[in-house]
Structure 1
Amino acid sequence: MIKGLYEAHLPVSNLEKAIAFYENLGLTLAWRSEKTVFLWVEKDKSWLGLWEGKEVQTPYHPSLRHIAFRIDYEDMKNATSWLKSIGATPRPFADGMSAEPFVRPYQGHACVYFDDPDGNSLELMSFIEVPEQLKTIEKKLLLEEWEALLNGVSTTMKDARK
């Protein structure tokens, strides 16, 4: 029945500034009123509603004021430099790890975090294939560590077939 996420919403303090930021990320204007705008994430599939108002003062919590955008794994390799090129600043996840993309093998995704001008937490995320023997890794690995680990598993599997 459910095919995907259609919409999500975030509070903003300045609609014009927010529109410029999200358009710079590649979202496109779908609909607008005086204090609200909807931007297509994927045209006719999903959009983001931005609402100008005092709700922007709501403190951040992972269950509030957070959006993750899906990207391809290959794009994740350049996500930090792309974010910097458009004026967004990658930031470390809550535990203070590097601001570089990282992998959560136990959840099967890679991600990098950044904020919008109002401090809403944004994330670029890609699904990854996790070999069975790596699914129990519960720590976060930098993308380069993950790639090295995958190369090691691939080599071990090739050697076992000989």
Structure 2
Amino acid sequence: MIKGLYEAHLPVSNLEASIEFYKRLGLKFAWRDEDTAFFWITEGRSWIGLWEGPEVQTPYHPSLRHIAFEVTYEDLKQSLAWLRSLQIDPVPFGSRSTVEPFIRPHQGNASVYFNDPDGNSLELLCHIEVPQGLKTITSKLSFEEWEELCRKSSD
């Protein structure tokens, strides 16, 4: 029945500034009205809606005001340089002190985080293949740690 995610929405305080920010990310502008704008994530399949209004004052929580964009593993390895080239600062995830991308073996994914101008949490995320012997690792690993573990597990 369910084939994917079609849309997600975020509150913003200034629609014009947010439109410019999401254009910098390379998302294709779809349409807007007086207080709403939509951008295609995958044209014809999924988009994000930005809504200008007082809801932007809702405090951040992982269940609110968060979207993850799918990227490739190689893109994620280059994500810090890409974000910085757009004058966007990556942010640490949770209690981490580093902004470096990291691997979650038990979830089979890797990610890096940043915020939009209103503090909405954005994530670049990719799926990873996890060797059977590494699927129980619940700690967050750097790319270097992950690739070394994968090398050792294939020996």
| TM-score bracket for the superposition, by shorter chain length | over 0.9
TM-align CA RMSD: 0.8
Q: In 1, Cα distance between the equivalents of 2:28 and 2:115?
A: 19
Runs in 1 of length 4+ with deviation above 6 angstroms? none
Q: In 1, Cα distance between the equivalents of 2:95 and 2:115?
A: 16
Letter in 2 for 1:24: R
Could you tell me which residue of structure 1 aligns to residue 75 of structure 2?
Answer: 75
Could you tell me which residue of structure 2 aligns to residue 135 of structure 1?
Answer: 135
Letter in 2 for 1:116: D
Could you tell me which residue of structure 2 aligns to residue 31 of structure 1?
Answer: 31
- Structure 1 unmatched ranges of 5 or more: 157-162
Could you tell me which residue of structure 2 aligns to residue 12 of structure 1?
Answer: 12
Shift in Å, 1:144: 1.7
Shift in Å, 1:145: 1.2
Give TM-score, length-normalised by structure 1: 0.93
Q: In 2, Cα distance between the equivalents of 1:131 and 1:25?
A: 32
**Are 1:125 and 2:125 an aligned pair?**
yes
* Structure 2 residue matching 1:125: 3-state secondary structure: strand
**Are 1:97 and 2:68 an aligned pair?**
no
Q: In 2, Cα distance between the equivalents of 1:6 and 1:142?
A: 31
Between the aligned residues of both structures, percent identity stands at 63
Alignment: residue pair count? 155
Give TM-score, length-normalised by structure 2: 0.98
Q: In 2, Cα distance between the equivalents of 1:82 and 1:152?
A: 30
Structure number, greater radius of gyration: 1
